[in-house]
Amino acid sequence: MERISNKIRPRQATASVGITLLVLCILFYGCTSRESPQLHSLTIAAAADLHYALDETIKTFKASNPDVDIKTVYGSSGNFYTQISNAAPFDLFMSADMEYPRKLIQEGFAIEGTEFEYAVGRLVLWTLKSSPIDVERAGMDAITDPRVKKFSIANPQHAPYGRNAVAAMQKFGVYEKITDRLVFGENVSQALEFIQAGAADAGIVAMSLATAPPVKVQGKYFEIPLDSYPRMNQGGVILKQVRERDAANRFCQFVLSPQGTTIFKQFGFYLPEEK
């Protein structure tokens, strides 16, 4: 009898350990699922002028919505329009105008009824603080300063900020005097980078970039009067291939909330209801 009992005890011990481990696993995964909510992912195609304002908006949004993971890709609104028309995997599009979001709805690439206006963009003539070109006093006349060898703007063929920069220069009668010195950034952020890197002496960029803390300390600017170029109403839309519609709705609502609009105003935007 002693020999038989010795053979049985190890098996009983093994079974007991297995059951204990199974119970612990169930408890562990049960607790983990309660403590870590399922993440909802959004990918936003955003106009380059939004870089600093949208980063701050997302940071503030996530503080109260930790279950939403947001990735942003910044670039030219026109290029994004083309990419989305060719099934680029974005969930939300925030443009530097209203034209591209409306076209995407009309063409069936965005969800009807989700279009929203979030800000009004503004233009500035910008250069480095170390530059001898006095843009703050000379205003738009600084563009014709002979020391301006290269002048950067966003490409007007696909960037709303580039088209409006051309309109402003035409309004002030300086466009024809500068055309042979123009260099085009792929978007308004790259137009700024050209000046920062010394590849251009001055340029027309977004107020939202010029007033952002990392850029403000580097440069000086002249705000171009709003009546010298078409009003830059900026808008967004939820795209047809959106993976997490509820998360997209929540983010859009936050952008338009008092908390969201306050952030946009801090970064040099006007609000749609402002004249």
DSSP letter for each residue of 195-260: HHTTS-SEEEEEHHHHTSHHHHTTEEEEEPPGGGS--EEEEEEEBTT-S-HHHHHHHHHHHHSHHH
Reported pTM: 0.84
> How far, rounded to the nearest angstrom, does the alpha carbon of residue 71 sit from its chain's CA centroid?
10
Name the nearest CA neighbour of 42 among 54, 27, 52.
54
Max CA separation in the chain (angstroms): 110
| Predicted confidence band of residue 20 (pLDDT cuts 50, 70, 90) | very low
Q: What is the pLDDT of residues 74-105, one digit of tens each?
A: 999 999 999 999 999 999 999 999 999 999 99
Burial 27-37 (b: 16+ CB within 10 A, else e): eeeeeeeeeee
Please state, in angstroms and rounded to a whole number, the distance separating the CA atoms of residues 209 and 39.
31
Among 3-7, 83-87, 146-150, 211-215, the minimum mean pLDDT is found in: 3-7
Higher pLDDT, 3 or 142: 142
Please measure the distance between the N-terminal and C-terminal CA atoms of the chain and give it in whole angstroms. Answer: 98
pLDDT(28) > 70: no
Residue 126, strand partner residues: 203, 221
| Predicted confidence band of residue 273 (pLDDT cuts 50, 70, 90) | confident
pLDDT(10) > 70: no
Extents of the domains making up the chain: 1-36, 40-118+233-266, 121-228
Query: Which pLDDT score, from 0 to 100, does residue 252 have?
Result: 97
Query: Which pLDDT score, from 0 to 100, does residue 191 have?
Result: 98
Higher pLDDT, 3 or 196: 196
Phi, psi of 177 (to 5 degrees): -80, -10
Q: Which CATH architecture has domain 40-118+233-266?
A: 3-Layer(aba) Sandwich (3.40)
Radius of gyration of the chain (CA): 27
pLDDT(210) > 70: yes
Query: Which pLDDT score, from 0 to 100, does residue 37 have?
Result: 61
pLDDT(170) > 80: yes
Q: Which CATH architecture has domain 121-228?
A: 3-Layer(aba) Sandwich (3.40)
Place of tokens 């843009």: 135
> How far, rounded to the nearest angstrom, does the alpha carbon of residue 220 sit from its chain's CA centroid?
23
Query: Which pLDDT score, from 0 to 100, does residue 36 have?
Result: 54
| Predicted confidence band of residue 275 (pLDDT cuts 50, 70, 90) | low
> How far, rounded to the nearest angstrom, does the alpha carbon of residue 76 sit from its chain's CA centroid?
10
Query: Which pLDDT score, from 0 to 100, does residue 4 have?
Result: 35
| Predicted confidence band of residue 14 (pLDDT cuts 50, 70, 90) | very low
Name the nearest CA neighbour of 96 among 118, 112, 70, 111.
118
Q: What is the pLDDT of residues 136-164, one digit of tens each?
A: 999 999 999 999 999 999 999 999 999 99
DSSP letter for each residue of 93-128: EE-SSSHHHHHHHHTTSB-TT--EEEEEE-EEEEEE
